[in-house]
Structure 1
Amino acid sequence: MDSVTQITLGSAVSLAVLGRRTAPWKAALWGALCGTLPDLDALIDHGDAVRNMTFHRAESHSLFYLTLLSPLVAAAAVTLHRETALWKRWWLAVWLVLVTHPLLDAMTVYGTQLLLPFTDRPFGVGSIFIIDPLYTVPLLAGVAAALRATPSGRRWNALGLALSTAYLGWSALAQQHVTELARASLARQGHQVERLLVTPTAFNTVLWRVVVVTPEGYLEGFRSLRDRSPDLRFDAFARGVEWRDRLRGHWPVERMEWFARGFIKLHEREGRVLLSDLRMGQEPYYTFTFTVAQRQGAGLARIERPPLMGQRPDVERALPWLWRRMWGEEVAPPR
């Protein structure tokens, strides 16, 4: 999730655990710091854009390593504030803030390596967009109320946590509902499905994007919870299978195919072979697009340190479409 959300969640969790045992500003401040801590790995340059993407949310988001770190951070807090009698409560607060960060990240589609060093599998439920005001606003309101150090403020903080958690549960239920509709629709239309991804569009859990990898390419469709038709309409696109064969064994391509769980496409533009992560963005605009090879006459030169070539949609076209489509109006996506 975005930094503001993680900071706010950290403060809310810390305030809830520490309660009246310490000053609210202390709980909120340490919660914000611990809520930010795992994402500091983004400051590490691993050498190229593919490595930076796929090594983000790795060791710093491991539940095991964060658990080992939590007593050290708690010790720093109680020593600084001279609250050693509250050691266990501070430890619990710090641990919960640290581990809820990657657990929330895992609800997005990006991929979080929660179980390092036991497995490097990137977990990504994909039921919530990286920025969702309906998740963040209740947390912000609760933290603001709790900082007033009144009983009602603490209750508002607890309510904010409860509402945000309930919203996460709702997002998972809505995702499952759309997944079932998509599978049924694909079966009726006779599509052969290799992989299926259902994830929300920007800032909401009403309009969902469906990506289907097929033997021939991939399909993209959208489903609003306000749609009445039982069937989804899909647009078909090429996935660049011929490029995949030519780039077999190329580390950036192999790494991205693993990290994106097969939801990638390869395509040529102006003599460059580009790889796009189909999970984030929508056709033809993808946040993570990398140049992985370059044409050289009849040959192909592989690029070992691929640069990021991400594309952003035209906001003036995309936001009105998003709003209209979210409410069930059948309008074609901007291409």
Structure 2
Amino acid sequence: MDPVTHAASGAVAMLALPSRPASRWAVPLAALAAASPDLDILFASTPLQFLLLHRGITHSLAGVPALGLLLALCCRPLWRASTPERWSFGKVWLLACAMLLLHIWLDAVTTYGTMIFLPFSHERVRLNGVFILDPLLTLPLLWAVWRWRRGRARMLLALAWVFLYPALGVGLNAWHAAQTEARLRAEHRQVSRLTVLPDAFAPFFWRALFAEQGPDGMQVREQSLDALGRPRAPETSHQAAPAALVAAFSRQSVSCDSFFRFTLLPVVSPLRAEDAPEAPPGVRNARTLLFYDLRFGSGLAFVRRLMALRPHADIPFQLMTESAPANTAPGAENNGPILLRERLRFSDSRRDSRWQRPRAPAPPTLGQRLTGLR
């Protein structure tokens, strides 16, 4: 979710309380606390760090008490002795924890994925109920903050909207998934890994992604849906990233492993000529590929045009690889193609690793082997 929505939700939550410290800092500090977990991007200077840190420990349930304590210390105007109607430090700490939980909720209902179970699991929770930018969620909150003097009841309704609107989206997502699955089954199509995503201006528009075997191998199909779950445009097809290739590159590179864990239904295409590196000396038949994720697109043409206007517009998250064929000599073990070089490029955040040699993932710890967690 965008920082404006996070900050507005924190301001609404503070204004909805029956009483608050008589300080001009009360509402701004609540807004800052609700947006604060996204400061994790300041510690991510490389694309790999961005994958590992953003929506990581600052967005985890286990990290809430510690981060809430730090925020409470920063919110001194709310608990210092000179503030009229001041709160106790413990009450400010509880408020900070509540703002963090509010942030986690708004991120978990989007499509990006939030690692709320760190440090026990790196699984990304994505409830797919709200588009990453949703004016139907944000504008009512901003309007409520603007008209806050009209009464607390307005604030309570706005605060309820923070929970009810995303919950409605999650419910509609499940309904659309069931409708789409039934339609594809009626068409006698053998699909797998069906996922429904909110499009811009959900709940009126949605997108379905699913894998299906095609004449040219496994394909990822993309279908734009209307509010009633009906297809509103022809399907588009993309070459699915082969599972064996994903597994081979993930074994050889921590960047590839992290990227593929982040993606939903990764697709692959030949690398564009302008992005291809110079061929390494002594290597014949090197192959360059581009991997990316479809979930950050849109089925609406005018939204795609708007997205193309953003600075450095490109596929948001990209993995580029250069590989050589596996050793096929008699008796040699074939573990897939050999990854020579890799490159992570995230256009919107302007993070680019440039071409570099892969770094092998660390072997799993004893605890990871016992629990199956990575």
TM-score, normalisation: structure 2:
0.71
Aligned positions of 1:282-293 closer than 5 A: 282=298, 287-293=315-321
| Shift in CA distance, 179/226, structure 1 to aligned 2, threshold 3 Å | closer
User: Residues of 1 paired with 2:254 and 2:241: CA distance?
Assistant: 17
Is contact 1:252-1:292 (8 Å) kept?
no
Distance in 2, Cα, partners of 1:126 & 1:40:
23
2:19 matched residue in structure 1: 20
Structure 2, unaligned stretches of length 5 or more?
A: 277-287, 309-313, 327-336, 349-374
Q: Write the distance in 2 (CA, Å) between the matches of 1:110 and 1:200.
A: 11
1:235 Cα shift?
A: 3.1
- Residues 173 and 294 (structure 1 numbering): CA distance in 2 closer, same or farther, change over 3 Å? same
Q: 1:214 aligns with which of 212, 215, 227?
A: 212
SS of corresponding position for 2:122 = coil
- Paired residue for 1:145? 147
SS at match of 1:165: helix
Counterparts in 2 of 1:160 and 1:303: CA distance versus 1, 3 Å: same
Match of 1:318 in 2: none
Alpha-carbon shift at residue 305 of structure 1 (Å): 4.7
- Counterpart of 1:279 in structure 2 is 295
Would the alpha carbon gap of residues 164 and 62 (structure 1) be closer, same or farther in structure 2, given more than 3 Å must change?
A: closer
Question: Which residue does the alignment assign to 2:362?
Answer: none
Deviation at 1:186, TM superposition (A): 1.6
Q: 1:252: which partner in 2?
A: 255
Conserved? CA contact 1:145–1:154, under 8 Å: no
1:33 and 2:32 correspond:
yes
RMSD of Structure 2 on Structure 1 (CA)? 3.0
Q: What is the one-letter code of the residue matched to 1:308?
A: F
The answer to whether the 8 Å contact 2:241/2:266 transfers is no
Q: Distance in 2 between matches of 1:116 and 1:168?
A: 23
Report the CA distance between 1:309 and its aligned residue.
Answer: 5.2
- Which residue of 61, 66, 69 maps to 1:68? 66
Partner Cα separation in structure 1 for residue 62 and residue 118 of structure 2: 7
Rounded to whole Å, the distance in 1 between the matches of 2:296 and 2:28 is 32
* CA 275–82 in structure 1, closer or farther in 2 if over 3 Å, else same: farther
Percent identity reads: 26
1:264 match: 266
Name the CA distance, whole Å, in 2 between partners of 1:300 and 1:185.
41
CA distance in 1, matches of 2:81, 2:343: 46
Are the structure 2 counterparts of residues 53 and 158 from structure 1 closer, same or farther at C-alpha, using a change threshold of 3 Å?
A: same
Question: Quick check: 2:241–2:267 contact (8 Å CA) kept in 1?
Answer: yes
Aligned-partner SS, 2:19: helix
More helix by share: 1
Partner Cα distance (1:144, 1:227) in 2: 36
Return the offset for 1:113. Answer: 0.7
Map Cα deviations across residues 149-170 of structure 1 (whole Å, 9 max, x no partner). Answer: xxx4322111111233221122
Equivalence for 2:157: 159
| 1:239 is the counterpart of 2:240 | yes
SS of the residue 1:218 aligns to? strand
1:248–1:116 distance in 2 versus 1, CA, 3 Å: closer
Structure 1 contact 14–94 (Cα < 8 Å) conserved: no
Structure 1 position 101, deviation (Å):
0.3
Q: Is 1:124 paired with 2:126?
A: yes
1:306 corresponds to 2:344: yes
Greater displacement, 114-123 / 66-75: 66-75
Counterpart Cα distance in 2 of 1:179 and 1:7: 31
The unaligned stretches of length 5 or more in structure 1 are 311-335
Residue 14 of structure 1 deviates from its aligned partner by 2.3
Alignment: residue pair count: 302
Q: Which amino acid aligns with 1:34?
A: A
Change (3 A) 1:186 1:130: same
Contact 2:11 2:27 in 1 (8 A): yes
Secondary structure of 2:344's counterpart equals coil
Counterpart code for 1:23: A
Q: Compute the TM-score of the two structures, normalised by the length of structure 1.
A: 0.79
Q: Is the 8 A contact 2:14 2:20 kept in 1?
A: no
Q: How far 1:120 moved relative to its partner? A: 1.7
Amino acid at match of 2:322: Q
Contact 2:79 2:92 (8 Å CA) reproduced:
no
Q: Deviation digits for residues 213-260 of structure 1, max 9, x if unmatched? A: 23512111011015667x995333211427547635233332222222
1:188 pairs with 186, 189, 192, which one? 186
Q: 1:304 to 1:257 in 2, by over 3 A?
A: same
Bigger drift between 59-68 and 19-28 goes to 19-28
Equivalent AA in structure 1 for residue 235 of structure 2: F
Offset of residue 281 of structure 1? 1.3
